[in-house]
Structure 1
Amino acid sequence: MLTQAKEKLHTHFGYTQFRTGQQDIMDYLFKGESTLGIMPTGGGKSVCYQIPSLLLDGVTIVISPLISLMKDQVDELSGLGISATFINSSLPYDEVQTRIAGIRQGDYQLVYVAPERLESPGFAAVFEQLPIALIAVDEAHCLSQWGHDFRPSYLRIPELINRLFQRPPILALTATATPEVAQDITTILGIPSSNRVQTGFERDNLSFHVLKGVDNDRYIKDYLVRNPSASGIIYAATRKEVERIYARLLKQDIRVGRYHGGMNADQRRDFQEQFVYDQLQVMVATNAFGMGINKSNVRFIIHAQMPRNIESYYQEAGRSGRDGEPSECMLLFDAQDIRIQQFLIDQSDMDDTRKKQEFKKLQSMINYCHTEGCLQEYILQYFGEKQTTPCGKCSECADDRSIADVTKDAQMVLSCIHRMGERFGKTMVAQVLVGSKNRKMSEMNFDTLSTYGLMKGKGQKDVIQFIDYLVASQILRLDGGGYPVLKLTERCLPILKGESKVFRKEARAPKEMSQEDPLFVHLRELRSELAAAHDVAPYMVFSDRTLKEMVERLPVTESAMLEIKGVGESKLDTYGRAFMKKIAQYRLEQDVK
């Protein structure tokens, strides 16, 4: 059946080989076995159930919380000649009934369903009567209460599966699962732990950058001016900040949209469609935007504020470069970001156990912002993977700054924490070190400590950032939830004795993206014209990666065009000839020159 799967891959999607992990997952499914697939964003998770839906007897059910993704994928699959539909809250009652009737009649090979729909007894009854060949659970980390996006409605999935007359194979898919979350998923869905396919979290086309102490507004403006043709997303932690950045960019004549939970559904949908169809250059949004936006040519992600945890950050950053082309992920860090996230956790309705877990995740995110090691390596280690060599392109690896010996400053900080009994947080420690005149200093006799005012030549903010660096370097650790206290680690004693040194670097901004090839620009314009004519998003015509391969190989015949990755027979018939004509015209112009 794998041979037939490859034929379907080429015919419908234009590729001759499966990506890493895809064939392994399908091998389990074709043997009737359930499996968990952990693949990075852009790794091709959708194909793992789309191809089997064409070959297995019965209907494939895809359970996903991503309403926008459902519509995008159904539109794209329909354009490829694959019968698919979706059922979610965006549809009126009559339309839902019509689609259910079509599902019962066997009109669709593949059906996307929102997890909340499973709570409806009526739909559950329909579900039980269908000849189900496969159940795919997308964003499977939502099953785990230790995941970053736990959704109670997902717990209905195993309940529904158990009511089926015959259990079909289950495919659980996620891009962000720590070892703990992965174990949770397999246990809840009854997937053998040996049936896990993990391709690795590394995204080698992404470069990560953390910038501290920059003017966010100026940086964002300059970046967009330097890269006017690059499509991207700017994330902010609050609705208020989204509105502020949006208004500012609008005044600067940037083609910008916005997206957050305070807007009505029509507004969100309108901006989202403009962005997907390349009518807007950039979206400013909270984390409510982007899940399931299958736009392949997002070239950059800017986090104007630090996210709450590594899982959210990597998922949001991973929305860039889905086509495999080089893309940038910038995080503009400010200490105020920490207080915002602490406040959001404190004000949530989570129980104390979950809050403690969230504070722990937040600390890992803070450590990421202050590490001076490879940023990608830090992320991979968080997800339980080891990287053999640094990535070579993140803001730390590509950094040519000189390294300063800061052992003396570290000794001052460590000594101060020790003399304060390891009972206080970094703000209080920093105030003692800079010799603050705060009333608490005298009330608690901190102004009598030998370490009081040892770093009075530095600003309190600079000392706090240095403490954060020591925490990120695992020289210090933070203990507690919303108000953690600083603790010394086993690494401190050699530093205090002068037997071990501490080094640190300075900050630096990333470079602008490279200029584009003239033919690529022409092909992208043609793509936009064809997309508008066929009422589809530009990425549904061809991805940036496919266009760049056309630029490299200059195909002007059908056979040559079919050798380009991403060009199948369906797309050749619909769009290919227009691109062949444009490329032939370009080649003629070059010959004349």
Structure 2
Amino acid sequence: MLQEAQKILKTYFGYSSFRTGQEEIIYQILQKQDTLGILPTGGGKSLCYQVPALLAEGVTIVISPLISLMKDQVDQLQQAGISATFLNSSIDAFEMEERVRDAIHGKYKLLYIAPERLETPNFRAVLERIPISIVAVDEAHCISQWGHDFRLSYRLIYQMIEGLRVKPTVVALTATATPIVMEDIREQLRIPRENTVVTGFKRENLTFSVVKGQEKRSFILKYIQDRPNQSGIIYAATRKEVDQLHEFLLQKGIKAGKYHAGLSEEERNHAQDQFIFEKIAVMVATNAFGMGIDASNVRFVIHHNLPKNMESYYQEAGRAGRDGERSECILLFTPYDIQLQKFLIEQSLLDESAKQIEYERLQKMTDYCHTELCLQRYIVEYFGDHYEEETCGTCQNCTDNREKIDITTEAQMIFSCIKRMDERFGKTLVAQVLKGSKNKRIIEMHLQKLSTYGLLKNRTEKDIANLIDFLIAEGYCKLTNSQYPTVGLTNKVVPVLKGEQKVYKKEQAIRHLLDANDELFEILRTVRKEIADREKVPPYIVFSDSTLRDMCAKCPEDEAAMLSVKGVAETKLERYGREFLAAITEYLKGVSVPR
């Protein structure tokens, strides 16, 4: 069975071997074992059900959360010569009826549907007439109330499965699931714990950075201008910020698009098409953008604001480098962003217990911005995964080689002040007491009489607050989960107060690791763009950046050599191979290439 899967992988998708976890998941599906797969964004989740779909006798139903995501995947499958279609609100009733009829007759190997379709009993009755062999649940974290994008309609999936005459094999896939979310997915879809495949959350090709204390617009403008040919996404927290930043970039001569829920569907579709067809290089958007595309050549993702939680951040940052090429993820942080997210939590319709969970997640996101641990390690361990190395060696914290400063004395002063304030006050008031502030509240509460009052009078309140943030991120202090949190101490402070352990801190730095594209890569990008325009498909559907990079490395001069390039399948070789071979041959005439 796996040999046949390997053959399909090469024939239809152009790859010689499976990525980590794919083979194990595919084997379990082929053995008719219900499976939960946790693979990082860009880890090849879709192949985990697309390959078995071609080996199974019936139809594979794919439950996908976004219309644009369905269209994108169906377009790619059809380009590879695989029969696939989707059913959603973007098609009229006549087309819907025709596609359903074709599905019943087994015309398609893969049928994509939105989870909301399951809310209609008539549609569930239609599904019972289709010979379904596999049900693939994409973005499976949406089924969990503990997930960051819970959708009630996902809870109807198992009800639909139970209504089928023959139980299909179920595979659930996601990139962002904490241990509690994994357990909830398994429970909702009746997947045995032992059938869980977790490949890890590490993305080795991504470089993570947190930028603090810089003017955001100036930073973004310079960053984009330094990378004129690179594709990127800039996420902002609100529609207003998206509009303002988009207008700013246009005024500076940057070809940028914008995307948020306040735009019409036509405007959003146009912006998305402009981006994936490389008419524009930069997209400014709320988190509504990104899930619906499978663009593999996004070289950077910048967060203009602090995301609401780590799950959202990693999913959005993970839009970068899906082709495995080196890419950057940068978060621009200011304390105001925390207040904005707290405001959004308070304005939500969540009950109090749910709000408490959101505050806790927000604090973990804030800690990410203040920690001096390896940023990749922080993310991986947040999702409950073990990080074997001490550092990733590429993130901002790991590449900052400046000496650490001993702040043990300052830390002891902060710990003592928090204790003497009975762990009942917020970070701001603690900082004011240590600074020796004479504001009205401190005087009224007689806090100026504390022995720790004014111990850090030579520092600014902002510096002291930043120190407290650092100590929270490093686990010495903790905050209550509320709109106005109070700061307390953890057991980790004991050895520090006893003088048995020191505390060190260093200032943060940022380092960009992306290099300019080489000449041949730019030539091949031009060829790809010409083909994409001619065939009216996004460039990455022709070939991904990763495939073009492999062409640059191998410089194939005939069709046999071209088939050894990662991502070049037989069907695409027949369609596009000659044009790329001609471009490579022409390039080699003008340069000396080592043999």
Deviation at 1:93, TM superposition (A): 2.6
Deviations 1:94-126 (A, max 9, x none): 322222222122221110000001111221110
Deviations 1:162-185 (A, max 9, x none): 111111100000001111111111
Distance (whole Å) between structure 1 residues aligned to residue 304 and residue 508 of structure 2 = 17
Between 1:105-114 and 1:443-452, the stretch displaced more is 443-452
* 1:280-359 matched pairs, under 5 angstroms: 280-359=280-359
Q: Which residue of 1 aligns with 2:394?
A: 393
Q: Which residue of 1 aligns with 2:452?
A: 451
Q: Which residue of 2 aligns with 1:565?
A: 566
Distance (whole Å) between structure 2 residues aligned to residue 480 and residue 576 of structure 1 = 57
Q: Which residue of 2 aligns with 1:226?
A: 226
- Other structure's SS at 2:53 match: helix
How many residues align? The count is: 593
Provide TM-score, normalisation by structure 2: 0.98
Distance (whole Å) between structure 1 residues aligned to residue 376 and residue 204 of structure 2 = 9
Unaligned runs of 5+ in 2: none
Residue 197 (structure 1) aligned with residue 205 (structure 2): no
**C-alpha contact (below 8 Å) 2:104/2:131 kept by paired residues:** no
- Other structure's SS at 2:85 match: strand
Distance (whole Å) between structure 2 residues aligned to residue 245 and residue 510 of structure 1 = 24
Distance (whole Å) between structure 1 residues aligned to residue 533 and residue 565 of structure 2 = 23
Between 1:85-94 and 1:461-470, the stretch displaced more is 85-94
Deviation at 1:592, TM superposition (A): 11
**C-alpha contact (below 8 Å) 1:137/1:173 kept by paired residues:** yes
Q: Which residue of 1 aligns with 2:461?
A: 460
* 1:521-560 matched pairs, under 5 angstroms: 521-560=522-561
Distance (whole Å) between structure 2 residues aligned to residue 592 and residue 15 of structure 1 = 26
Between 1:431-440 and 1:257-266, the stretch displaced more is 431-440
Q: Which residue of 2 aligns with 1:490?
A: 491
- Other structure's SS at 1:194 match: helix
- Matched residue type, 2:189: L
Q: Which residue of 2 aligns with 1:431?
A: 432
* 1:13-162 matched pairs, under 5 angstroms: 13-162=13-162
Deviation at 1:385, TM superposition (A): 1.3
Q: What RMSD over aligned residues (CA atoms) do the two structures have, in Å? A: 1.4
- Other structure's SS at 1:431 match: helix
* 1:130-279 matched pairs, under 5 angstroms: 130-279=130-279
Between 1:374-383 and 1:473-482, the stretch displaced more is 473-482
Deviation at 1:28, TM superposition (A): 1.0
**C-alpha contact (below 8 Å) 1:227/1:512 kept by paired residues:** no
Between 1:390-399 and 1:351-360, the stretch displaced more is 351-360
Between 1:455-464 and 1:64-73, the stretch displaced more is 455-464
- Other structure's SS at 1:540 match: helix
- Other structure's SS at 1:584 match: helix
- Matched residue type, 1:304: H
**C-alpha contact (below 8 Å) 2:106/2:131 kept by paired residues:** no
Unaligned runs of 5+ in 1: none
Deviation at 1:400, TM superposition (A): 1.2
Distance (whole Å) between structure 2 residues aligned to residue 37 and residue 384 of structure 1 = 15
- Matched residue type, 1:172: A
- Matched residue type, 1:542: F
**C-alpha contact (below 8 Å) 2:367/2:473 kept by paired residues:** yes
Deviations 1:403-435 (A, max 9, x none): 111112212211111111100111121122223
Deviation at 1:541, TM superposition (A): 0.7
* 1:352-371 matched pairs, under 5 angstroms: 352-371=352-371
**C-alpha contact (below 8 Å) 2:147/2:177 kept by paired residues:** yes
Deviation at 1:254, TM superposition (A): 0.6
- Matched residue type, 1:507: Q
Distance (whole Å) between structure 2 residues aligned to residue 250 and residue 150 of structure 1 = 35
**C-alpha contact (below 8 Å) 1:226/1:512 kept by paired residues:** no
Deviations 1:201-238 (A, max 9, x none): 11110111111111111110111011111111111111
Distance (whole Å) between structure 2 residues aligned to residue 316 and residue 98 of structure 1 = 36
Deviation at 1:160, TM superposition (A): 0.9
